[in-house]
Structure 1
Amino acid sequence: MDVIQEVDTSAEMNSESDDEKECDDKSNSNCQKKGTPGFIPPPLQVLDRVQIKIEPETPFLTLQTLLLGLKAKNSFSKKELKKAEELMSQAMVEFYQKLRLLKSYCFLNQLAFSKIMKKYDKITLWNASKAYMRTVDNSYLGSSDEVAKLMVRVEATFIKHFANGNHRRGMKILRPKAKKERHRITYLLGLFTGCTIALILAIVLLIHARNILNHEGRNKYMENIFPLYSLLGFMALHLMMYAGNLYFWKRYHVNYSFIFGLKQGDELGYREVLLLSSGLAVLTLACVISNLDMEMDERTQSFKAITELVPLALLLVVLLIIFCPFNIIYRSNRFFLLQCIFHCICAPLYKVTLPDFFLGDQLCSQVQAFRSLIFYVCYYGWGDFTTRSNNCIGSEVYRKFFLVIGLIPYWFRFAQCLRRLIEEKDPMHSINGLKYLSTIIALAMRTTFQFKGKHWLFMASTTSAIATVFNTYWDLVVDWGLLRRNSKNPWLRDKLLIPNRSVYFIAMVVNVVLRLAWMQTVLGIREAPFLHRTALTALVASLEIFRRGIWNFFRLENEHLNNVGKYRAFKSVPLPFHYA
């Protein structure tokens, strides 16, 4: 049963208690609620057939449902009742928004018809608009009385049962919030962007002035300090790409807010995300300068240990901001991100939604960031950071963690595919799961080849080639919906948002080329001119983040145009009711 039917039934049941008349079953047809003409409350026997049923949403309840089974019960805890109330409140809000859209749609059609008739009268010199508009006004196209009555009933029911009779509070929840543009965000964005450019220039001049590239401490810095800051650099780059996605989604009218299920009025725009990215970049680059010339500057020798702790302190600050419970720095968005991350970690115990598997794909492009996080533990736990040295690569334990941590994001997506296969019975999810399984095998073979040498070259090359072909085909054909031979747009798809078709072909070529970045590992290219091994690894990881940013736009464009019927044709809210 869709949300409109469910909420309408719920609204009628709730509004019956407000009726000042007492009606028996025989006189229901003559009974109307005061102030609501034409309202006929449902028979009370409906309540005997409805029971509250709380769907399992936690790993514990999911396992309990699978192993023992849960049935509708008569007694509930306060937490379960609160959850049921939240679902009903959300359903009422969604139903009210649909009514507002219907009313707006009716008004726009009436306005459009009026303008057409005025143009017609002007050209033909007739006066036919009055007769036509009279007919339109009396038709369902020009009349929204039923919708208006429903809106009044929903408002009254919501204010009484979900706002404790507070009219202002209830209407504030029901009506959409207009997002305010803040000039300080634009100002801070410009400030941080300028500081980022200035710090990059300062680092380049510092390297050139002190001839750091030819200094004997270069290798120590690149092997011990650079991987620590690269983690934060990957985060800043991914935020920057996401900000670009938001800009182009908005420009080409992709309804990303609705698709992701973001709370209306609280979703971040591209300016806010760019502000976070530039702010993180400023902090990271400022800390980089503090460690860049420590081996060459005698003034830093006395507080060497403190200086080496700067990357760890910066990481702790970033983590504190992410988990900060106070209502600062976009708390609702941070908690939404943490919730999606938790769902990915607990896969397949949670029901998979689009934000969950979309985030899982983002994590698959941050494998090197996960490995940098492991290096933090090794460097500050097992290494001697006071002398800027470590023996992580030579440790067998570190190598095992280095391998496992790179496979975890792909395991998240594999587990999510299994959950969707069980729930939706769609064989495409099994094929998608095989795709991630092939990537897991390929990444394991490449990592083993990286540590153990040429004996694993054939296995690494073969599995990587199979995974690359599999992933590339899935990206272009399934996720992007392109390469349709019989399409109106040859080798693309019928519906396109970008007028310039060459953009799609360029994106496909770039996706294929960047997918081949794994060849750097297999071909044994460990260093390049003026690039250290760790810098080359960071560059390849950055190219993968760039590829994911391009993938994001076309993935959500295809979702917006073609897959809404499959995923989110309308926003339904599962009410906590079990109908016998």
Structure 2
Amino acid sequence: MPASSPSGSPDGSVEQQQAQMTEGAAVADEVMAALERNGVSFVGLPGKKDAKKEGSGRGGRLQLPSTVRIDIPASNPGRAALKVWEELVNVLRKDGADPAAAFVHRKKVQHAEKNIRDAFMALYRGLELLKKFSSLNVKAFTKILKKFVKVSEQQRATDLFSQKVKRSSFSTSDKVLQLSDEVEALFLKHFAGNDRMVAMKYLNPQQPKNTHMITFLVGLFTGTFVSLFIIYAILAHVSGIFASTGNTAYMEVVYHVFSMFALISLHCFLYGCNLFMWKSTRINQNFIFDFAPNTALTHRDAFLMSASIMCTVVAALVINLFLRNAGASYANAVPGGLIVLSAGLLLCPFNVFYRSTRYCFMRIMRNIMFSPFYKVLMADFFMADQLTSQIPLLRHMEFAACYFMAGSFRANPYETCTTSQQYKHLAYVISFLPYYWRAMQCLRRYIEEHDINQLANAGKYVSAMVAAAVRFKYNVTPTPFWMWMVLISSSGATVYQLYWDFVKDWGFFTPKSKNLWLRDDLILKNKFTYYISMMLNLVLRLAWAQSVMKIRINKNETRLLDFSLASLEIIRRGHWNFYRLENEHLNNVGKFRAVKTVPLPFRELETD
């Protein structure tokens, strides 16, 4: 793209930029006029009467100052590259070029438009909350006065109070209504193409109504899963595959693939439980995670995902076992086909099976894997915390990739992916990755926010990496020295994690709290629940102790123990999730934070 040419690029030509500035000036003029009509004043800006007017038949429109530029923070690699490209183009065309006509890439303009649209949406939401606040206060005063009349039987005093309330500013003022109408009209004109339905989808998004079909499907898949699981258990018992003398190759292959899907399904189920509890306790998780209410998952959706995954997995288990008993050579292709089907569904571009959620998940995973190059949002580090509890899942994925992508299922040499030195080293790296990603996110937040707590949080994940490295070394070299090193490093990391769980993430152990060992504000009514949760979190944090015990059991029992411990860690994480968002919600309430802050994409250049 010949962007360095003043007239050769449609994205950065002087004519187009002047048109964009003219259109932006018109929007700015309308917004400022609407705000001024509703009593909003501007500091440090010229009044409308003193503002410069454009020539060439464009009189009456506000001329934006030449010192104002579109400013989109370079919060990810793409925006950073865009900024470098703009700087390079502007340097090449600096001689003789008008500073007011600097090159601005089309993508940057699109980001600016999106920011302005989000700012309108946040403003509209704030105005809606003010309207609700006003009506609730009027209703509250009315009920209080009715109660007062009932108790005191002083109707005259009540009438005086009632008249005072009705004449008060919050009851009689219509500025909020007027400003809300103005914002709606501006949004309708500039961001919705005068289509009111489109505008209200943005300004007042509504969660889709719950249908009985989802509940029916959850029940159907759950019942099918139970039936298929019983069939599989009977077939497995008859085949003797779980006996100590059973088919080791079957367990080595099937265990990894189907455990992977079982852990995913369990996590989805617990997330559904989280969503149900958050809704029951009026915790606004969509606002905390910045999810759109009209596309965000509900607890029924999460339960449907969990049930459908497990139903499909157990059906594949039954088919695989039937083929094995029939002597089919392609029986092991069934787990591989399940993986391909799942990957295809995740990447499917069609609007089926929660496309917005799937794309959001992939976007968050991209942000995590490329930490610290992407700005860290609440959803990003919350998902990264989930990954620290899914290390067994990542190891199962590693085995599946090795086994199927290398074509091992044809000759069935499963030992290739379990005994090779490269495999062991890769397992070591995978044990590190979630903690590394999370530590990098903490460092990124420390650089941006200068919050020393982020450095301390990064230290927690570094201690977890050290403990994982020592445990890996102990598995390779099980000597008394390394056993003691495991005890020391893992105990230190566990104490660090427990402190952060209870004090930082859950907000407990607040000094001089009216609730012993807890915090002042609690959402759950029964305080005993919090104490039980603390004990449960403590016990499940000590699951690493089984790696030191070296219990003598056969391979199948070892697999079952590993799966059980992985499931317990996911249960601990699902349990942790509720209290983490409870604390975040209470912090938002304490800071009166009900609308997200959207910085406008402009900055004023420094002038001599």
Q: Are the aligned partners of 2:251 and 2:556 in contact in 1 as well (CA < 8 Å)?
A: no
Q: Are the aligned partners of 1:106 and 1:144 in contact in 2 as well (CA < 8 Å)?
A: no
The residue that corresponds to 2:133 in the other structure is 105
The residue that corresponds to 1:467 in the other structure is 493
Alignment pair present for 1:55 and 2:70: no
For the structure 1 residues 27 and 105, does the alpha-carbon distance in structure 2 shift closer, same or farther, using more than 3 Å as the test?
A: closer
C-alpha separation in 2, matches of 1:140 and 1:196: 60
Aligned residues: CA RMSD:
3.0
The residue that corresponds to 1:115 in the other structure is 143
Q: Are the aligned partners of 1:177 and 1:265 in contact in 2 as well (CA < 8 Å)?
A: yes
Q: Are the aligned partners of 2:443 and 2:455 in contact in 1 as well (CA < 8 Å)?
A: yes
| Match 2:516 to one of 490, 503, 527 | 490
Alignment pair present for 1:520 and 2:536: no
- Could you give the per-residue CA deviations for residues 86-143 of structure 1, whole angstroms, max 9, x where no partner exists? 1111110110111111111111211222233334345516255554333322221212
The residue that corresponds to 1:331 in the other structure is 355
Please show how residues 335-374 of structure 1 align to structure 2 within 5 Å: 335-374=359-398
C-alpha separation in 2, matches of 1:255 and 1:314: 35
Q: Are the aligned partners of 2:218 and 2:304 in contact in 1 as well (CA < 8 Å)?
A: yes
The residue that corresponds to 2:114 in the other structure is 86
- Could you give the per-residue CA deviations for residues 286-316 of structure 1, whole angstroms, max 9, x where no partner exists? 1112233655x2xx21x322x2111111111
C-alpha separation in 1, matches of 2:602 and 2:77: 21
C-alpha separation in 2, matches of 1:237 and 1:230: 10
Q: Are the aligned partners of 1:479 and 1:558 in contact in 2 as well (CA < 8 Å)?
A: yes
The residue that corresponds to 1:14 in the other structure is 30
One-letter amino acid of the counterpart of residue 494, structure 1? D
Using the TM superposition, give the Cα deviation of residue 493 of structure 1 relative to its aligned residue in structure 2, in angstroms.
1.0
For the structure 1 residues 378 and 27, does the alpha-carbon distance in structure 2 shift closer, same or farther, using more than 3 Å as the test?
A: closer
The residue that corresponds to 2:265 in the other structure is 236
| Match 2:190 to one of 155, 161, 177 | 161
C-alpha separation in 2, matches of 1:511 and 1:310: 38
The residue that corresponds to 1:4 in the other structure is none
C-alpha separation in 1, matches of 2:547 and 2:487: 10
Q: Are the aligned partners of 1:384 and 1:390 in contact in 2 as well (CA < 8 Å)?
A: yes
The residue that corresponds to 1:312 in the other structure is 336
C-alpha separation in 1, matches of 2:246 and 2:155: 89
One-letter amino acid of the counterpart of residue 379, structure 2? P
C-alpha separation in 2, matches of 1:262 and 1:10: 31
C-alpha separation in 2, matches of 1:80 and 1:353: 21
- SS of 2:111's equivalent? helix
- Could you tell which deviates more after superposition, 381-390 or 248-257? 381-390
- SS of 1:578's equivalent? strand
- Could you give the per-residue CA deviations for residues 517-572 of structure 1, whole angstroms, max 9, x where no partner exists? 111112223637x9522222111111111110111011111111136667966411
Alignment pair present for 1:503 and 2:529: yes
C-alpha separation in 1, matches of 2:477 and 2:518: 43
Using the TM superposition, give the Cα deviation of residue 190 of structure 1 relative to its aligned residue in structure 2, in angstroms.
0.7
| Match 1:406 to one of 426, 431, 435 | 431
What TM-score does the superposition give when structure 1 sets the normalisation length?
0.87
Alignment pair present for 1:431 and 2:456: yes
- Could you tell which deviates more after superposition, 139-148 or 380-389? 380-389
Alignment pair present for 1:246 and 2:299: no
One-letter amino acid of the counterpart of residue 312, structure 1? G
The residue that corresponds to 1:533 in the other structure is 558
Q: Are the aligned partners of 1:240 and 1:273 in contact in 2 as well (CA < 8 Å)?
A: yes
C-alpha separation in 2, matches of 1:486 and 1:132: 39
The residue that corresponds to 2:581 in the other structure is 556
| Match 1:213 to one of 204, 218, 242 | 242
Using the TM superposition, give the Cα deviation of residue 404 of structure 1 relative to its aligned residue in structure 2, in angstroms.
0.5
C-alpha separation in 1, matches of 2:552 and 2:292: 46
The residue that corresponds to 1:575 in the other structure is 600
For the structure 1 residues 62 and 522, does the alpha-carbon distance in structure 2 shift closer, same or farther, using more than 3 Å as the test?
A: farther
- Could you tell which deviates more after superposition, 189-198 or 450-459? 450-459
For the structure 1 residues 69 and 405, does the alpha-carbon distance in structure 2 shift closer, same or farther, using more than 3 Å as the test?
A: farther
Alignment pair present for 1:75 and 2:103: yes
What TM-score does the superposition give when structure 2 sets the normalisation length?
0.84
- Could you tell which deviates more after superposition, 437-446 or 68-77? 68-77
Q: Are the aligned partners of 2:205 and 2:292 in contact in 1 as well (CA < 8 Å)?
A: no
For the structure 1 residues 568 and 43, does the alpha-carbon distance in structure 2 shift closer, same or farther, using more than 3 Å as the test?
A: same
Q: Are the aligned partners of 1:53 and 1:73 in contact in 2 as well (CA < 8 Å)?
A: no
- Could you tell which deviates more after superposition, 430-439 or 316-325? 316-325
One-letter amino acid of the counterpart of residue 505, structure 2? D
C-alpha separation in 2, matches of 1:564 and 1:401: 45
- Could you tell which deviates more after superposition, 390-399 or 124-133? 124-133
One-letter amino acid of the counterpart of residue 186, structure 2? T
C-alpha separation in 1, matches of 2:472 and 2:592: 36
One-letter amino acid of the counterpart of residue 494, structure 2? T
Q: Are the aligned partners of 1:221 and 1:292 in contact in 2 as well (CA < 8 Å)?
A: no
For the structure 1 residues 468 and 26, does the alpha-carbon distance in structure 2 shift closer, same or farther, using more than 3 Å as the test?
A: closer
The residue that corresponds to 2:177 in the other structure is 148
C-alpha separation in 1, matches of 2:363 and 2:101: 28
- Could you tell which deviates more after superposition, 259-268 or 71-80? 71-80
For the structure 1 residues 16 and 94, does the alpha-carbon distance in structure 2 shift closer, same or farther, using more than 3 Å as the test?
A: closer
| Match 2:219 to one of 177, 183, 190 | 190
| Match 2:124 to one of 96, 103, 128 | 96
The residue that corresponds to 1:321 in the other structure is 345
Q: Are the aligned partners of 1:50 and 1:579 in contact in 2 as well (CA < 8 Å)?
A: yes
- Could you tell which deviates more after superposition, 158-167 or 129-138? 129-138
Q: Are the aligned partners of 2:26 and 2:62 in contact in 1 as well (CA < 8 Å)?
A: no
Using the TM superposition, give the Cα deviation of residue 49 of structure 1 relative to its aligned residue in structure 2, in angstroms.
4.9
Using the TM superposition, give the Cα deviation of residue 578 of structure 1 relative to its aligned residue in structure 2, in angstroms.
0.8
Q: Are the aligned partners of 1:222 and 1:532 in contact in 2 as well (CA < 8 Å)?
A: no
Q: Are the aligned partners of 1:63 and 1:349 in contact in 2 as well (CA < 8 Å)?
A: no
C-alpha separation in 2, matches of 1:412 and 1:69: 31
Using the TM superposition, give the Cα deviation of residue 458 of structure 1 relative to its aligned residue in structure 2, in angstroms.
2.8
- Could you tell which deviates more after superposition, 213-222 or 491-500? 213-222
Q: How many equivalent pairs are there?
A: 549
C-alpha separation in 2, matches of 1:345 and 1:267: 23
For the structure 1 residues 469 and 377, does the alpha-carbon distance in structure 2 shift closer, same or farther, using more than 3 Å as the test?
A: same
The residue that corresponds to 1:180 in the other structure is 209
**What runs of 5+ residues in structure 1 fail to find an aligned partner?**
1-8, 20-24, 30-41
Identity across matched positions, percent: 37
Q: Are the aligned partners of 1:243 and 1:273 in contact in 2 as well (CA < 8 Å)?
A: yes
Q: Are the aligned partners of 2:76 and 2:375 in contact in 1 as well (CA < 8 Å)?
A: no
- Could you give the per-residue CA deviations for residues 65-104 of structure 1, whole angstroms, max 9, x where no partner exists? 7999999983322221111111111110110111111111
- Could you give the per-residue CA deviations for residues 173-217 of structure 1, whole angstroms, max 9, x where no partner exists? 322324311110010011011112222222222333444433733
- Could you tell which deviates more after superposition, 52-61 or 316-325? 52-61
Q: Are the aligned partners of 1:121 and 1:127 in contact in 2 as well (CA < 8 Å)?
A: no
The residue that corresponds to 2:504 in the other structure is 478
- Could you tell which deviates more after superposition, 444-453 or 277-286? 444-453
Q: Are the aligned partners of 1:222 and 1:535 in contact in 2 as well (CA < 8 Å)?
A: no
Q: Are the aligned partners of 2:86 and 2:103 in contact in 1 as well (CA < 8 Å)?
A: no
Please show how residues 30-45 of structure 1 align to structure 2 within 5 Å: 44=62
